[in-house]
Amino acid sequence: MSWPSLLHRLPEVRGKLIENASLADITWLRVGGPAQVLFLPADAADLARFLAETPRDIDVRVLGAGSNTLVRDGGLKGVTVKLTPAFGKVEALENNRIRAGAAALDKMVAKAAAKAGIAGLEFYVGVPGAIGGALRMNAGCYGTETKDVLVEAIALDRTGRRIIAPVSELGYAYRHSDAPEDWIFIEAVFEGQADDPEAVTERMTAITERRETTQPIREKTSGSTFKNPDPDTSGGRSAWQLVDAVGWRGKPIGGARFSEQHCNFLINDGTATASDLETLGETVRAAVKDQFGVELTWEVKRIGEPV
Ligand X SMILES: Cc1cc2nc3c(=O)[nH]c(=O)nc-3n(C[C@H](O)[C@H](O)[C@H](O)COP(=O)(O)OP(=O)(O)OC[C@H]3O[C@@H](n4cnc5c(N)ncnc54)[C@H](O)[C@@H]3O)c2cc1C
Which span (43-51, 110-118, 124-132, 281-289) binds ligand X, by CB under 6 A? Answer: 124-132
Of 70, 68, 6, nearest to 32 by C-alpha is 70
Q: Of these, 141, 253, 266, 267, which contacts ligand X (CB under 6 A)?
A: 141
* 142 contacts: CB under 8 Å, gap ≥ 6: 123, 126, 207, 210
Give the chain's count of helices (H) and strands (E): 8, 18
Calculate Rg over the CA atoms of the chain: 20
x/- mask, ligand X, residues 157-186, rule CB under 6 A, reads --------------------------xxx-
Q: Does 217 bind ligand X (CB under 6 A)?
A: yes
Contact with ligand X (CB under 6 A): which of 3, 28, 39, 124? 28
119 binds ligand X (CB under 6 A): no
* Helix 106-115 vs helix 197-214: crossing angle, to nearest 10: 150
Nearest to 155 by CA among 56, 53, 55, 81: 81
SS3 label, residue 15: coil
Considering only residues 90-109, where is the footprint of ligand X by CB under 6 A? Answer: 102
Helix H or strand E encompassing 238: none
- Decide if residue 190 touches ligand X (CB under 6 A): no
Selected binder of ligand X within 72, 136, 147, 257 (CB under 6 A) = 136
Q: Which residues are catalytic?
A: 175, 224, 299
Contact positions vs ligand X (CB under 6 A) = 28, 61-69, 83, 102, 126-130, 132-134, 136-137, 139-141, 183-185, 215, 217, 221-223, 301
